[in-house]
C-alpha cells in the first residue's frame, strides 16, 4: 500500500497513523495491514473508573434525600472523570479501531444518563459489541439501564404503553424514517412492556407489567417480546441498508455512493457481523479512491485526539478538557438529543472554526485568543471565562520531547506529508513556503492551524 492510503485507513479507522506505524507498514500488503488493524482491536478492555462510592446502596438509602443529593453531585463529577479517561483511552489504546467503533456507535445508539454507574455500563456495552453481531448488539442496548431510562422504557407498561423506545428503535437505530407504520410502533411498544432494571442497573423483566397479548408486527402475528421484535426488524433488508449507509457516511464520505452502499448491504445482511462488514469496507479498492481521502471534516473529538497523537499533552485540569469540548461543540457523554451530533459541515461555524484554527497555538504554544477579534466567538467564550482568564483559559503539560524524537531528521516537506492528509491548495502552499522554517515545533503548530488540518 502507498503511505497515503495507509494514512487514510488510520484516519478513518482511528485518529491518524503514527510515523513509526507508517514506516513499518509501507512494505506490507493491504490484507496484512487490515488484519493487523483488527488483531490489535480484538481484545475487549472495559473502561472503568472507581465507583466504590456508589456500590452497596439499598432501596432504603434512596429515601435519604441528603445522601441522594450528595451522590448526584459526586456522579456529575465522576462523569467528567470518565469523559477524561475516555479521551485518554482514544489516543493511547493499542486497540484504536475498537475505540473508534465505540465512538461511532455512541452517536448511533444515542443515550445519556447522569448516573455514572449506568453511563459507564452503557459505554462498555458499546465497546463490547462494537465489532460483534449487530443482532445481539441491539438486544443488549434495549436492556441497558441507561437506555431504559433515557427513552422511558421503564414507564412502558401493560395497558399504559410508552412508545418512545419503540419509535426510536426503528427510526434512528435500525430502519430509518418511512420504513414502518404507526401501527408497528404501537405493537412494538407492547412487546417491550415489562422491561426494567434493578438498583445496580442489571436488567429485570417484570412479567406482571408485560402485555402478553397477541401482536401484529410487520405482517407477523404472535405473542412477541422485545427480542422477537428485534429479530423481525433485522429480517428486513432495509435494516442492513440503513446501517451500511450510516457506516459509509462516517467512515467513507458524507456524499453517499449508492452502488457502494448496496455492496456493503449484501455483505452485512448475510449475518449482521460488524467485523465482516468493516473488513470488506477497508479491503475495497473504492475506499482508497482520491475523492474519499481527506474528504471529511474531523469531529471535535477526532480533532483533539489527533493533536494529542502528534504532540502528546495532558490538560492540567479535567474541567479544561470539558470546557474546550463545549466550545468545539461535542462533549462526550452529553449528546444534544436522541438523534446525536449531525456531523459533517455541522461541526464548523464561525465560532468553532476560529477556535479550531487557534487551538494548536493555545494548547501547544501557550498563546492566547486575541480579545481584539470580537464577534460571536467572543460572546460564546465569555460564557465560560472571565476577562482576567482569557489570556490562558486552559493549561496543558506538553511532551514535546516525544515529538522531537519521533521526527528527528525529518525534512519540513516530509513533516507536512505526515501531518496534512488532504491535498493542499495553491494559496496554502504559498503561505507555507513563506514561513520561517527554523523550528520543527513551530512548523508543526502552523500546519495544525491550517484549514486543511480540519479534514481527514
Task: Please give the chain's pLDDT, 456 residues, in tens.
Answer: 999 999 999 999 999 999 999 999 999 999 999 999 999 999 999 999 999 999 888 888 888 899 999 999 999 999 999 999 999 999 999 999 999 999 999 999 999 999 999 999 999 999 999 999 999 999 999 999 999 999 999 999 998 999 999 999 999 999 999 999 999 999 999 999 999 999 999 999 999 999 999 999 999 999 999 999 999 999 999 999 999 999 999 999 999 999 999 999 999 999 999 999 999 999 999 999 999 999 999 999 999 999 999 999 999 888 999 999 999 999 999 999 999 999 999 999 988 999 999 999 999 975 443 333 334 434 443 443 343 344 456 889 999 999 999 999 999 999 999 999 998 888 888 888 887 788 999 999 999 999 999 999
- For 302-339, the DSSP string reads HHHHHHHHHS-EEESSHHHHHHHHHHHT--TT--SSTT
DSSP at 200: T
- For 150-161, the DSSP string reads HTTGGG-BTTB-
pTM (predicted TM-score): 0.94
Torsion 26-297-317-443 (CA) sign = positive
Torsion 167-173-178-184 (CA) sign = negative
Q: Are strands 396-398 and 313-315 parallel, antiparallel or unpaired?
A: antiparallel
Which residue has cell 438486544? Answer: 139
> Please, are residues 249 and 239 in contact by the beta-carbon 8 Å criterion?
no
Amino acid at each position: 500500500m502507498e503511505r497515503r492510503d495507509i494514512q487514510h485507513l488510520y484516519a478513518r479507522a482511528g485518529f491518524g497513523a503514527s510515523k513509526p506505524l507508517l514506516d513499518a507498514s509501507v512494505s506490507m500488503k493491504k490484507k496484512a495491514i487490515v488484519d493487523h488493524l483488527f488483531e490489535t482491536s480484538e481484545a475487549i478492555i472495559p473502561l472503568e473508573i472507581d465507583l466504590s462510592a456508589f456500590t452497596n446502596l439499598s432501596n432504603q438509602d434512596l429515601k435519604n434525600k441528603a445522601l441522594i443529593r450528595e451522590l448526584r453531585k459526586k456522579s456529575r463529577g465522576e462523569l467528567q472523570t470518565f469523559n477524561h479517561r475516555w479521551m485518554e483511552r482514544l489516543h493511547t489504546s493499542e486497540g484504536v479501531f475498537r475505540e473508534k467503533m465505540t465512538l461511532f456507535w455512541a452517536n448511533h445508539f444515542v443515550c445519556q444518563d447522569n448516573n455514572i454507574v449506568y453511563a459507564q455500563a452503557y459505554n462498555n456495552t458499546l465497546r463490547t459489541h462494537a465489532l460483534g453481531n449487530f443482532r445481539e448488539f441491539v438486544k443488549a442496548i434495549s436492556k441497558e439501564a441507561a437506555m431504559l431510562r433515557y427513552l422511558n422504557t421503564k414507564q412502558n407498561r401493560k395497558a399504559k404503553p410508552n412508545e418512545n423506545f419503540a419509535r426510536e428503535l426503528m427510526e434512528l437505530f435500525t430502519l430509518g424514517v418511512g420504513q414502518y407504520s404507526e401501527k408497528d410502533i404501537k405493537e412494538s411498544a407492547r412487546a417491550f412492556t415489562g422491561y426494567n432494571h434493578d438498583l445496580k442497573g442489571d436488567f429485570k423483566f417484570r412479567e406482571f407489567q408485560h402485555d402478553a397479548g397477541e401482536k401484529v408486527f410487520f405482517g407477523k402475528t404472535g405473542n412477541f417480546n422485545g427480542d422477537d421484535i428485534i429479530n423481525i426488524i433485522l429480517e428486513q433488508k432495509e435494516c442492513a441498508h440503513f446501517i451500511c449507509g450510516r457506516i459509509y457516511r462516517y467512515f467513507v464520505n458524507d456524499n453517499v455512493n449508492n452502488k457502494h452502499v448496496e455492496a456493503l448491504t449484501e455483505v452485512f445482511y448475510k449475518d449482521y457481523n460488524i467485523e465482516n462488514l468493516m473488513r470488506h469496507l477497508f479491503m475495497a479498492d473504492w475506499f482508497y479512491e482520491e475523492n474519499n481521502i481527506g474528504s471529511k471534516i474531523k469531529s471535535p473529538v477526532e480533532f483533539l485526539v489527533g493533536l494529542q497523537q502528534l504532540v502528546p499533552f495532558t490538560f492540567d485540569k479535567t474541567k479544561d478538557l470539558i470546557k474546550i469540548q463545549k466550545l468545539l461543540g461535542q462533549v462526550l457523554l452529553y449528546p444534544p438529543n436522541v438523534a446525536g451530533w449531525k456531523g459533517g459541515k455541522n461541526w464548523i461555524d464561525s465560532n468553532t472554526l476560529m477556535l479550531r484554527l487557534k487551538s494548536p497555538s493555545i494548547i501547544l504554544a501557550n498563546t492566547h485568543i486575541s480579545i481584539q477579534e470580537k464577534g460571536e466567538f467572543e460572546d460564546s467564550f465569555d460564557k465560560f471565562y472571565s476577562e482576567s482568564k482569557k489570556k490562558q483559559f486552559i493549561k496543558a503539560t506538553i511532551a514535546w520531547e516525544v515529538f522531537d524524537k519521533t521526527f528527528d531528521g525529518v525534512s519540513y516537506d516530509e513533516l507536512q506529508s505526515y501531518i496534512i492528509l488532504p491535498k493542499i491548495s495553491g494559496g496554502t502552499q504559498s503561505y507555507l513556503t513563506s514561513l520561517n522554517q527554523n523550528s520543527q515545533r513551530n512548523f508543526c503548530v502552523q500546519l495544525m492551524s491550517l484549514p486543511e488540518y480540519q479534514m481527514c
